[in-house]
Chain A
Amino acid sequence: MELIHKLKSQNKNLITIAMIKRTYFILIIFFVLAFASEAQQIPIIIKGATVHIGNGKTINNAYVAFDSGKIVFVDSIMRNSYKNARIIDATGKHVYPGLFLLNTFLGLNEIDAIRSTRDYNEVGEINPNVRSLIAYNTDSRVVPTAKFNGITYMQVVPQGGLVSGTSCIVKTEAMNWEDAVINEDGIHINWPEINHYAKDPKEQQKYLTEQQAKLITFFAEAKQYQFKLDNHETNLRLQAMQDLFKQRKILYVHANSAKGILEAMQFIKQHQPIKATLVTGSDAHLVADEIKQSNIPVIVNLIHSLPNRNHHDVDQPYKTAAQLFNKGILVSIGFSGSWESRNVMYTAGTCAAYGISSEQALQLITENAAKITGNEKSTGTIEVDKNATLIITEGDVLNMKESILIHAFINGVECNLENTQTELYKKYSKRYGIEAK
């Protein structure tokens, strides 16, 4: 897998060269096809659309061109012309970077109630070595409905326990997980916290202390493990942690209460140098200044939630991400869930209604998501040399009633937007003799 991955990235470099040296174009295409399932066949130019770059900026009536899976220009004037290019007239339409869905377990879960389709929660409390990637179901019937809404990348996250496992960033259209993977980005831990519903506060505190001690011990052992001698026995759990200390993976710390967030940040600080991100909820506003000071990026989970406590503002979950964003914190948003995660762009829309602009809200699920997961070099915005992963919509992608996808491209390849739902829609519309609009 590693080998294929390296070859692929070499191909990408070659493609860039090919754009200059057009003589090699055909040859390169063949080369790419030999390794990837599909690749962009001809250059594509989208014209006339409002292009939302993903970094807060827009270009009206713009031209976006991509070739060999890479964006070659984005401008208000035509920079180059291709004889054989496919031209998509998107006048009045909108172009966005492919959207990121972070902190989901879609792809590890098909039908919530059916145990045999649940693959997100492994036995035991400490599972850094379990990898979501190898269980990611590219043939899911649910994932295509997320793609239908413009989601091209997902962070697929194992759930449960103290250390849930290793997440991955995948494409939402792929033939198999090797084809799907962008990277295996990080390890997720759940910070032990006070739960509202537990009856006995003292018992609860005792349990929390024990759980926190387990985490702290485990991290200490993991650090010690880097000095393991050859004759020491292998421990897969501790071994899996080494990428964190080498800063090859990100530590995602899930903490929701204000107290938990502060403790989690302290924990992160104690393990420096380490790359870390907080995955948090609507209590984060209570400690926004502390988060800002810590310089730790944040994924705000489940914007469409009820306030954590009765005395919180009724719109607190809606505005938390905006409050953090406006403090200058690197913020993205997540949607822990399965089928319902396909609505992540509307939760970004809600952020736009509660404190930031639409372009900034878009940034949460594009550029910032790419940055947080370590993929900003190739994804997240519509900028030259980045992967041509983008979507074309009728209107504002964050606003349900206009958020209608016309095309989606991943690495320049057009996605199939049909799914079981659209098939059933057509089948029954036909049966009734009504139009499947």
Chain B
Amino acid sequence: MRILFLYVALLLTSIVIKAQTTFNINGPANNTLNYIAYTHAIVYVNANSVLNDATIVVKQGKIERITAQGAVPKNAIEVNLKGKVVYPSFIDLYSNYGIDVPSFNKNKNNGEQFNSNKAGAFAWNEAIKPEINAAQYFNYNHQDAIALRTMGIGAVITGNQDGILRGTTALVTTANDEPHYTIVGNNITSSFSFNKGNSPQPYPSSLMGSIALIRQTYYDAKWYVAQQKEKNLSLEAFVNLSNLPVIFDAGNKQNVLRAAAIAKEFNAKYIIKTNGDEYQRVQEIKQTNLPLIVPVNFPKPYKINTAFDAELISTSDLKHWELAPANLYFLWKNKIKFCITAQGSKEGDFLNNIRKAVKYGLPKQEAIKALTENPASFINANNLGDLKDGKIANFIICDGDLFDDETSIMGIVIQGKSHKTNNTPDVVLANEYKINSNITLYLKKNIATINNDTFKLKASYHAGIANFILDGKTLINYTANATIIDSAQYPYNIKELSGFARLSNQTIENWVAIVASNQNKKQESKDSVTILSDSLIWYPFNDFGNNILPQAKKVHFKNATIWTNEQQGILTQTDVIITNGKITAIGKQLPCSDCEIIDATGKHLTNGIIDEHSHIAITHGVNEGTQAVTSEVRIGDAVNADDINIYRQLAGGVIAAQLLHGSANPIGGQSALIKLRWGASPDKMKIENAAKYIKFALGENVKQANWGDGATTRYPQTRMGVEQVFIDAFTRAREYERKLKTDKTLRKDLELDALVEILNSNRFITCHSYVQSEINMLMHVADTFGFKVNTFTHILEGYKVADKMKKHGVNASTFADWWAYKYEVIDAIPQNAAILNRMGVTVAINSDDAEMGRRLNHEAAKIVKYGKITEEEAWKMVTLNPAKMLRIDSRTGSIKQGKDADIVLWNNNPLSIYAKPEMTFVDGICYYSTQTDELLRKQVAATRARLISNILQAQKNGADTQTQISEQEPNYHCND
């Protein structure tokens, strides 16, 4: 009994156990031995080895010895854990537990804040704060500590979670103690993200801007080491910590790949925090070979009361509900290293969701590893993660196997100190008690459940007496007390309950309930494991995705009308054969023995449409419009392979697009040229070895004319200033290039690098432009610096300077009939394309709009209407001409032997309003056909029906639900 009460005391009080301190001691010293032996426990030393009837001797916060049937040192306190199971406590690598970083600044300026307001010699951008040392801002936080301990988490990597470069993290325990004792180590990792957080500076506003800023900071750090001019505490911190692993809060699966690309570029060691959807791109993530920190916050069944509620939930959200619990299984199956974080999970859901993951195929040992050994090894914490002699005594005490639904984490020992969890019961009640009384009891459900003459109680414990309030079925004011009769081991087991009932007539009646005989029966019936097939995963993970990506086939199109875009013009009744992704033969009645034959009689076969100006398939921001010059940002970093508009555009006969930066600043970002390979990863979308492009812009957008009266401080505000921005940028670029040749320590400047490429004709400009003065101006600037503008896009007043454009050799990529949406397009005319074409300028018709992008054949047809050009010429404006502008015309843009099989089969003249693509091939692969579309529609409908019915079933079974209105991808335009 002595031992027992001591343990209770251990549980309930916070003992200060310090051998030696730097603190001033007020009064007599109160040092204790801090020597405890936990006996008779089942101990998981690590995920794979178990000791039965083990003794863990803990001294001064460390495990002194751990052995099976080990003896209790004579001066140690014994705590009997018979029937209990002990695991190493969990380690969470993604937390901001106990961190409180004061935020320094608000934007005090009128207008945009271009530089940091943080006082001191720190980075120019407030989202860059590697100088933050988490340990300096760490304190014990009781509320959060209890939540973590209840989840079984004994140690966390904690740090500032605001900004892009967030500083270093500390490894701390969740023990109730001064930080002096709970900080196990500081400067354990660095911490990065793509999210600029609370920084009041507008830059970076986009994902690609965040990526550019991180990359530039790496280069700045390199430069910093070699220079002596500048003291920069942020860069200094970055340099000093460059050998630490980086915990990168990336987020979704595509961001995981983006973070991994940075790691690769700088040969850095990243541990990537994900959002639990990695199964959707598991192969690509596997190839990164980086360890992951994975949350288990699986979505709850969505609340669906009517068909209209269901309509608001996207198929990918429905599918994620089904597949999210299997995420860890898919990661394990693919041999990806991962650990688990409680981030995003509610205290009560965390363990249940881990159990759910186990029910979805994650082996138990792997789950334990992901909570203990793996995180420890990712951060090289050799003193944590398993239970071995000499390690920090961090373990949890469970009343059963961790993965049984009934099991609770009853206590947690952290640094040798016992702590309660919210699940720590004061007393343990048996499953059932038999009432030894003739009173019929009716108990409130939240207190007890009744089964005939037995009942089951939940209790609260005060001073040795458990109090219950019982509602009598026929009695009122029925209260009862239960007393603890026997307790030989921790925690107290209550074998008999007794009490009295106050009846409605105010008489009191005693009652006794004893444990029903079969109290210790444990439900052995394990939940069966559900293995979800990876055939449920669609690529991309969106409607109309495929589980198995289509392959290139050998196809023979027979008897088609071929719009060659070559000298032969339009050929009737002609065959085309495609093999291995290329056009291999064109001619009449071609032979082919092993081809798939497509009867194209009465149909039109063309090269697919190429959209010179598109903003589809871009993640989080098409503009880094926060500075006048942002040539360092790259759309290629933000390609979104999941965008449904890729599929929709295939259905409109589009095969390739230039994804352009927006037009919010004079020098925008670098373009990405993609083919619409629906289902491929973002990287595979990009056209191999494509020439490099960049977006420039002129006019109202870049001078912020329509941004409201607040946007009047950024240079330029006039067309005069726009010219100076260009001249200044190219002058700096030229000087930078010259210095690069001599000065090896010169700071690498990603912004100027891109401009140097332009000067050397290694990168080509697509310039958003409207009025003739500015068009003329940019050609002059280019001439002065010795390069050519490649393409004027929009170029709605191109017809006014068509002769000058011809002379400069610039291309025109325009709208068919847009105008009147702002002052600078007041003179736009739908005959613009025709005039430019007649003047010998290469003309394309582009979309700048996800909706119009799928009807570019119709926009080309408008040029026939307004400008009376030939149909062939019009057709080239959406195929061959944009291919020329994008320098991909040697491989695509026309039907010619040897070119890529980027082919569309139309049911009609492609310029007709009645024309529909029947098949769209990219690289000889059929990514869209009316036939497969029909099947995919059925697949989408059937999947939705199945999942909605599953959710309704879960609802019926009483599952907790969440209200869901799925977000849709924004559709970007130039000035977004």
Contact = CB atoms under 8 A, between A and B. Distances in A.
A429 B912 CA distance: 27
A280 B852 CA distance: 20
B954 interface: no
- Interface size class on chain A is 35 or more
B830 A305 contact: no
B887 interface: no
Contacts of B854: 314
B206 to A, nearest CB: 18
Interface string B862-887: 10110110010010000000000000
Interface string A387-409: 00000000010111111100000
B644 interface: yes
Interface stretch (B17-25, B418-426, B962-970): B962-970
Contacts of A202: 963
Closest 7 CB pairs of A and B: A437-B868, A113-B822, A349-B913, A400-B861, A339-B820, A259-B308, A401-B864
Interface string B843-858: 0000000111011001
A140 to B, nearest CB: 9
B971 interface: yes
Contact of A339 (B802, B819, B963, B966): B819
Contact of A201 (B543, B944, B964): B964
A248 to B, nearest CB: 34
Nearest to A346: B913
**Which residue of A258, A307, A401 has the most chain B CB atoms within 10 A of its CB atom?**
A401
Contact of A398 (B818, B864, B913): B913
Given A338-B821, A425-B799, 10 more contacts: A111-B820, A304-B855, A310-B314, A310-B968, A399-B913, A399-B914, A401-B911, A428-B799, A432-B802, A432-B839
Given A400-B865, A425-B831, A346 B315 contact: no
Given A338-B820, A401-B865, A314 B933 contact: yes
A197 B968 contact: yes
Interface of B: 306-308, 311-312, 314-316, 542-544, 644-645, 647-648, 651, 700, 705-706, 799-800, 802-803, 817-823, 826-831, 834-835, 838-839, 850-852, 854-855, 858, 861-862, 864-865, 867-868, 871, 874, 911-916, 933, 937, 940, 944, 963-968, 970-971
Given A201-B963, A399-B914, A400-B913, A309 B835 contact: no
Given A304-B851, A346-B913, A424 B829 contact: yes
Interface in A138-160: 141-142
B829 A425 contact: yes
A194 B913 contact: no
In this complex, the member of A304, A306, A310 whose beta carbon has the largest number of chain B beta carbons within 10 angstroms is A310
20 contacts: A112-B820, A113-B700, A113-B705, A113-B821, A196-B312, A258-B308, A304-B851, A304-B855, A306-B648, A314-B647, A338-B821, A340-B818, A352-B914, A399-B912, A399-B913, A400-B864, A401-B864, A401-B874, A421-B829, A437-B867
A404 B861 CA distance: 12
B820 A142 contact: yes
A129 interface: no
B700 A311 contact: no
A36 to B, nearest CB: 29
A436 interface: yes
Interface of B is mostly: loop
B861 A401 contact: yes
Contacts of A307: 648
Nearest to B914: A353
A194 B965 contact: yes
Contact of A311 (B306, B543, B834, B838): B543
A350 interface: yes
Contacts of A40: none
A110 B823 CA distance: 10
A114 interface: yes
Contacts of B802: 428, 432
A196 B967 contact: yes
A236 B864 CA distance: 50
Nearest to A429: B835
Interface string A64-90: 000000000000000000000000000
B518 to A, nearest CB: 46
A315 interface: yes
Contacts of B644: 310
Given A400-B864, A436-B831, A112 B914 contact: no
Nearest to B802: A432
Given A310-B644, A314-B648, A434-B835, A112 B822 contact: yes
A403 B700 contact: no
A221 interface: no
A257 interface: yes
Contacts of B312: 194, 196
A342 B862 CA distance: 12
A219 B529 CA distance: 58
Nearest to B312: A194
B315 A400 contact: no
| Residue from A113, A114, A258 having most chain B Cβ neighbours under 10 A | A113
Contacts of B645: 306
Contacts of B913: 346, 349-350, 352-353, 396, 398-400
B933 A305 contact: no
A311 B315 contact: yes
Contacts of B861: 399-401
A421 B862 contact: no
Contacts of B831: 421-422, 425, 436
Contact of B940 (A110, A112, A311, A425): A311
A196 to B, nearest CB: 5
A286 B944 CA distance: 15
A111 B937 CA distance: 41
Interface in A365-404: 396, 398-404
Contacts of A425: 799, 829, 831, 835
Given A306-B648, A311-B314, A425-B829, A432 B835 contact: yes
A196 B968 contact: yes
Interface in A305-328: 305-307, 309-311, 313-315
A229 interface: no
A343 interface: yes
A198 interface: yes
Contact of B937 (A313, A339, A340, A429): A313
A416 B968 CA distance: 45
- In the complex, which of the residues A112, A198, A311, A343 has the most CB atoms of chain B within 10 Å of its own CB atom? A311
A37 B327 CA distance: 74
Nearest to B868: A437
A135 to B, nearest CB: 17
Contact of A428 (B800, B819, B858, B862): B800
Given A113-B706, A311-B940, A339 B851 contact: no
Nearest to A198: B965
A424 B867 CA distance: 13
B968 A309 contact: yes
Contacts of B647: 314
A353 B834 CA distance: 27
Given A196-B967, A307-B648, A421-B829, A314 B916 contact: no
Contacts of A424: 799, 827, 829
A349 B914 CA distance: 7
B722 to A, nearest CB: 18
A111 B817 contact: no
A122 B612 CA distance: 39
Contact of B311 (A258, A349, A353): A258
A43 B185 CA distance: 98
B877 to A, nearest CB: 13
Interface string A244-273: 000000000000011100000000000000
B835 A196 contact: no
Contact of B916 (A353, A400, A436): A353
A125 B460 CA distance: 56
A246 to B, nearest CB: 34
